[in-house]
Structure 1
Amino acid sequence: MASSKLNIVKGGPTEGSMVVLIHAVGLDLTYWDRQIEALTAHHHIVALDLPGHGRSARIRHNGSIVDLARDVAMVIDELGSRPVHVVGHSFGGMVAQELAISYPDHVRSLTLAATAASFSEEAREYMRSHGSAVSAQGMSAAIPSLPLSLAERTANRRPDLLERLTRTILAMEPEVYAAAWREIASFDASERLSSIRCPTLLLVGDEDRNTPPDASTLLARDIAGAAMVVIDGASHMLPMEASERFNDELTSFLQFLDTRTTADSAP
């Protein structure tokens, strides 16, 4: 594969198992700050900016989820530590699904947070119109929907989180953002989920209006052995608004897998 050319940050012990973090559309690797803090005690963390996000330049492809999964696979190849634990949030969870399906030898485990494998036609039409509005009006058209990504209690208690999201979204290139929403609107991995064989953890907020618990229930049904955890009082941005519970579930999952691998490899 050619070079990925994506911006990444790394941390934690190099001898620890590697965890790759893939953020949501419109965000960047800094939104994994609480997870990086929690995981670097025992794991080697790699957080990346998807093309056109954060400090990653746009790449000469159409930004399809298939292309983005290939980009992440390139990063993993360059790191030389495959297979790795992969954590994807929302759009990043769709990229992670595609990665696990198309590059199964790259993925040791899969954690999918606030994501889905398919959508109703009504939801797809909303996503297409959302992307079209941003293409026509600029990033300001994306701002009214942001409060829906946080639980009401979180929005009232932590107005700084909404301010942070707003600043990040307004800094996006409209066409990159709109293209991602077109990809989300056409995404459907539901018929291929059964090919995912790695251990899988599903995390979802009970107040998530974007990808509600029912979406994770469908993932749990079709991915063999997948475990699903519903986090109370959280919405779509659960890695940020419910970071303590999110981190507890994630670290327990990863430590169980690493302990099992060590036991299996013992003489």
Structure 2
Amino acid sequence: MHIGGRTRRLSVDGFEFGIETRGAGADEFALVHGIGMSPRYFDPLVRELAPSAKVHALHLPGFGRTRRPRRSLSMQDFGRLSAQALRGLGAGPAIVVGHSMGCQVAVEMALADPAAVRALVLLGPTTNRRERSAWRLGLRLAQDTLREPPGANWTVFSDYARCGPRWYFATVPHMIGHRLEERLPLVGVPVLLLRGEHDPIAPGSWLAELLAAGGSAAAAEVPGAPHVVMYRSPQTVARHCLDLAVRP
């Protein structure tokens, strides 16, 4: 595992999680990766947060180095199980930072166990309502690949290879079918929507739609950044995360 610090494996209702913990401090962050991924692409952000906070990076069931479940999981399943995993770790309440599909999981964590989630930071949230199809998402991913730094692309595609197509494509319908614009307004904690300026997967119009749906969300944009915004601009993303942590 890449982030370092203490690594633990937990079984929640028979589903395996890996959780890497690094840093110390009163504030706690839980990082939730996107489809096909592991927490490795959060490394630059962890290095920014860990000097002043405790950071828990989750390996969701079937991704990273965890075992493949026997059945596919909905976003609600991932959220409920992830909240239970944090509870099992003795962590929280935490500021949950989700990326891409991890934003959908983070929202479901807050709905499943509101007391475990202090706030949400949603980085490049999926899935844009106007492009809910596998081929559209594939096209946007290809566009984004041309904008990412080589290190980010290497991390993404090596994690995809480790995940394998079977589990990846078993999860895609659940990601596409989840309605973030309907679920987000139900969240009762502060929410920050954050996108890179050049993110084709989470365009500005989609964030505007999420804001208009209601709830307690705010939005910001990171200049010059693509979809994997926390890899390209970790200092800026960390500043937003830490600013949220000090709000009353």
Q: TM-score, normalised by structure 1?
A: 0.80
Q: For 2:32 and 2:14, locate their aligned partners in 1 and report how far apart those are by CA, in whole Å.
A: 18
Deviating beyond 3 angstroms after TM superposition, the runs of 4 or more aligned structure 1 residues are 1-4, 144-147
Q: Structure 2: which amino acid aligns with 1:250?
A: C
- Contact 2:127-2:180 at 8 Å conserved across structures: yes
Task: Name which of 170, 176, 193 aligns with 2:167.
Answer: 176
TM-superposed CA distance for 1:71, in Å, is: 1.6
Task: Name which of 102, 108, 123 aligns with 1:113.
Answer: 123
- Contact 1:100-1:196 at 8 Å conserved across structures: yes
Match of 2:151 in 1: 160
Residue correspondence of structure 1 range 30-45 to structure 2 within 5 A: 30-45=40-55
**Structure 1: gaps of 5 or more residues:** 132-141, 261-267
How many residues of Structure 1 are paired with residues of Structure 2 in the alignment? 237
Q: Calculate the aligned-residue CA RMSD, in Å.
A: 2.3
Q: For 1:119 and 1:197, locate their aligned partners in 2 and report how far apart those are by CA, in whole Å.
A: 22
**Structure 2: gaps of 5 or more residues:** 1-11
Task: Check 1:176–1:51 CA distance in 2 against 1; reply closer, same or farther (3 A cut).
Answer: same
Cα deviation, 1:161-210, whole Å, max 9, x if unaligned, reads 32332222222221111022111221113233222110111110121111
- Aligned to 1:234, what secondary structure does the other structure show? coil
Task: Name which of 148, 160, 185 aligns with 1:194.
Answer: 185
Task: Check 1:145–1:222 CA distance in 2 against 1; reply closer, same or farther (3 A cut).
Answer: closer
- Aligned to 2:236, what secondary structure does the other structure show? helix
Structure 1 range deviating more: 195-204 or 74-83: 74-83
Q: TM-score, normalised by structure 2?
A: 0.86
Task: Name which of 81, 86, 89 aligns with 1:79.
Answer: 89
- Aligned to 1:112, what secondary structure does the other structure show? strand
Question: Is 1:88 equivalent to 2:104 in the alignment?
Answer: no
Match of 1:124 in 2: 132
Q: For 2:70 and 2:159, locate their aligned partners in 1 and report how far apart those are by CA, in whole Å.
A: 23
- Contact 1:193-1:219 at 8 Å conserved across structures: yes
Question: Is 1:229 equivalent to 2:220 in the alignment?
Answer: yes
Match of 1:5 in 2: 16
Q: Structure 2: which amino acid aligns with 1:217?
A: A
Bigger helix share: 1
Give me the identity figure in percent.
26
TM-superposed CA distance for 1:105, in Å, is: 2.0
Question: Is 1:212 equivalent to 2:203 in the alignment?
Answer: yes
Rg: which structure is higher? 1
